[in-house]
């Protein structure tokens, strides 16, 4: 479903490559956690997958299309199929839960309809459904600035779900949350992942969370893949190598 071939990224002004010669292949149904020290290259990998960043070398293929070769219009189409959740949620604070979730339809609509803020009854119905899926029905009309961090991330997840994605990407989605809330968010992500048979790919700092929820762990060290395997095989030795 998603193939990464010989991917390298060299940012201007940096001596060291952020990613060098990365080769990975992912199937639908995998729940992958990406581990690595700060600066290892995890975010760079996610940004190449969703086409936000053009690599210096190599290719990303999604459902047979080379993302790296697409023009902006085709890239927008691909991005609809990739829901994204963020560390700082990227919500609009003064808008309600429902309004924030509805922005998840924007990739599918004309800019005119986005501008006038008109939504079809089908879109509204689906928005209410995904809000229920993340357990926020009683907060639908609340401004998101009045929600807790965990609730905000639930809104972020609902917004991503509204896109009907095949892939769910997360760049440190629980790094701003306490351990208990992080666990709840991962439980929810896993439930949604199973329900929709997604490919889920999440950067995470907490090794225990990755070992508890992932079906596959990938470790990045100085821009290289240094581990790719089952959570049980991510042992102390690999931990030391990853975080040395
Ligand atoms: N826009 C940029 N311009 C220049 N260098 C960058 C840029 N973004 C990232 N880098 C560098 O590329 C390397 C990889 O960064 P990246 O953000 O991918 O790491 P990360 O593993 O996601 O780190 P963190 O866990 O802190 O988010 C780092 O050395 C970083 O300083």
More confident residue, 119 or 71: 71
Decide if pLDDT at 116 tops 80: no
> Looking at the predicted complex, does its ipTM rise above 0.85?
yes
What's the rounded Cα separation, in Å, for the pair 107 and 94? 21
Ligand 1, pocket-test mutation among 41, 88, 243, most atoms within 8 A of CB? 41
Contacts of 76 (CB under 8 A, 6+ apart): 107
CA distance 63 to 71: 16
- Cβ neighbors of 199 (< 8 A, separation 6 or more) are 1, 2, 26, 27, 28, 29, 30, 32, 166, 167, 168
Q: Is 40 in the pocket of ligand 1 (CB under 6 A)?
A: yes
Element (H, E) at 61: strand 57-62
Give the helix, strand, coil percentages of the chain, each rounded to 5.
45, 25, 30
Cβ(38) – ligand 1 distance below 6 Å: yes
Q: What percent of the chain has pLDDT above 90?
A: 82
* Atom 5 of ligand 1, nearest CA residue: 11
201 φ, ψ to 5°? -135, 115
At residue 112, the pLDDT reads 61
> Ligand 1: which atom is nearest the Cα of residue 43?
22
39 lines ligand 1 (CB under 6 A): yes
* Residue-level pLDDT at 106: 67
Domain spans of the chain? 90-164
Kindly give the distance from the C-alpha atom of residue 135 to the centroid of ligand 1, in angstroms, as a whole number: 34
Encode pLDDT of 206-235 as tens digits.
Answer: 999 999 999 999 999 999 999 999 999 999
Neighbours of 228 (CB within 10 A): 15
Residues contacting residue 1 through CB under 8 Å, at least 6 positions apart: 26, 27, 28, 62, 63, 166, 167, 199
pLDDT at 86 (0 to 100): 94
pLDDT band for position 68 (cuts 50, 70, 90): confident
What is the pLDDT at residue 15?
87
How far is the centre of ligand 1, averaged over its atoms, from the C-alpha of 52 (Å)? 14
Q: What confidence tier does 76 reach under pLDDT thresholds 50, 70, 90?
A: confident
Mean pLDDT confidence for 61-79? 88
Expressed in angstroms and rounded, the spacing between residue 41 Cα and the centre of ligand 1 is: 6
């Amino acid at each position: 479903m998603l193939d990464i071939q010989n991917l390298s990224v060299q940012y201007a002004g940096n001596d060291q490559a952020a990613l060098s010669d990365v080769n990975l292949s992912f199937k639908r149904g995998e729940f992958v956690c990406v581990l690595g020290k700060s600066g290892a290259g995890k975010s760079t990998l996610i940004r190449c997958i969703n086409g936000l960043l053009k690599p210096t070398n190599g290719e990303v293929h999604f459902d047979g299309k080379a993302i790296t070769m697409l023009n902006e219009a085709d890239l927008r189409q691909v991005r609809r199929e990739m829901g994204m959740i963020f560390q700082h949620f990227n919500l609009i604070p003064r808008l309600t839960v429902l309004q924030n979730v509805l922005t998840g339809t924007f990739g599918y609509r004309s800019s005119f309809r986005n501008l006038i803020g008109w939504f079809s009854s089908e879109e509204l119905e689906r928005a209410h459904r995904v809000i229920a899926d993340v357990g926020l029905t009683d907060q639908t009309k609340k401004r998101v600035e009045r929600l807790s961090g965990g609730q905000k991330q639930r809104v972020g997840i609902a917004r991503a779900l509204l896109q009907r994605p095949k892939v769910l990407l997360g760049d440190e989605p629980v790094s701003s949350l306490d351990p208990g809330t992080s666990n709840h968010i991962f439980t929810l992500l896993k439930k949604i992942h199973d329900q929709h048979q997604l490919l889920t790919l999440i950067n995470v700092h907490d090794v225990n969370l990755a070992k508890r929820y992932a079906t596959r762990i990938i470790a990045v060290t100085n821009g290289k893949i240094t581990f790719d395997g089952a959570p049980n095989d991510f042992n102390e030795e690999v931990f030391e190598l990853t975080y040395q």
